[in-house]
Amino acid sequence: MRLGRAHGTATRQARYSQLQRDREAAPKLRTMFPVVEQLRFELSFEGGGAATPVPQSHVLHPPARAFFSFPCPYADCDGRFELTAAVHAAVEDPSHRIEGVLECAGSRVSDFRSKPLCQLRLCFTLTAVCSPPY
């Protein structure tokens, strides 16, 4: 019996490598947002069926890269959640807090004949802690 190539593994590795390159190319948070002392991302997921991913929390400080793209937590999905616009909105908003919902537009390779849309929903709360103006 001859086994075929594992296309999913190679594709997943390529996506991970691209994500790493994109992160390394991003400027530092302190360069992009000099007044921001901390960014907190609270992420929860809905609509994943029986195996909905667990909530995530991420905190970024000024030396971190200003990279706000999070891959879909499903290993077989090629989607990303882009939160750059939400970060800008949170920094500019007087409350420095924003909530929202995004839907994953990626495809899941659960079977090789079809690639169903993922449609996992990301519910996020983003809080920016900013230094007071002088």
Answer yes or no: is pLDDT of 104 > 80: yes
Domain for residue 69, yes or no? Answer: yes
Find the mean pLDDT for residues 103-118. 78
Instruction: Tell the residue number behind the tokens 């909105």, with chain if given.
Output: 89
**pTM score:** 0.82
Answer yes or no: is pLDDT of 10 > 80: no
Domain for residue 93, yes or no? Answer: yes
Domain for residue 14, yes or no? Answer: yes
Domain for residue 2, yes or no? Answer: no
Number of domains in the chain: 1
pLDDT, tens only, 111-121? 556 678 888 99
The residue among 51, 128, 47, 113 whose CA lies nearest residue 83 is 128
Q: Can you tell me the distance from the alpha carbon of 18 to that of 16, in angstroms, rounded to the nearest whole number? A: 5
Domain for residue 1, yes or no? Answer: no
Domain for residue 122, yes or no? Answer: yes
Domain for residue 57, yes or no? Answer: yes
Residue 3 confidence (pLDDT): 41
What residues contact residue 17 under an 8 Å CB cut-off, 6+ apart?
A: none
Residue 103 confidence (pLDDT): 96
Residue 134 confidence (pLDDT): 62
Range of the domain at 51: 7-130
Answer yes or no: is pLDDT of 90 > 90: yes
DSSP 1-38: --PPP-HHHHHHHHHHHHHHHHHHHSPBHHHH-TTEEE
Residue 6 confidence (pLDDT): 46
Residue 5 confidence (pLDDT): 43
Residue 51 confidence (pLDDT): 84
Residue 65 confidence (pLDDT): 96
Q: Can you tell me the distance from the alpha carbon of 127 to that of 134, in angstroms, rounded to the nearest whole number? A: 21
Domain for residue 15, yes or no? Answer: yes
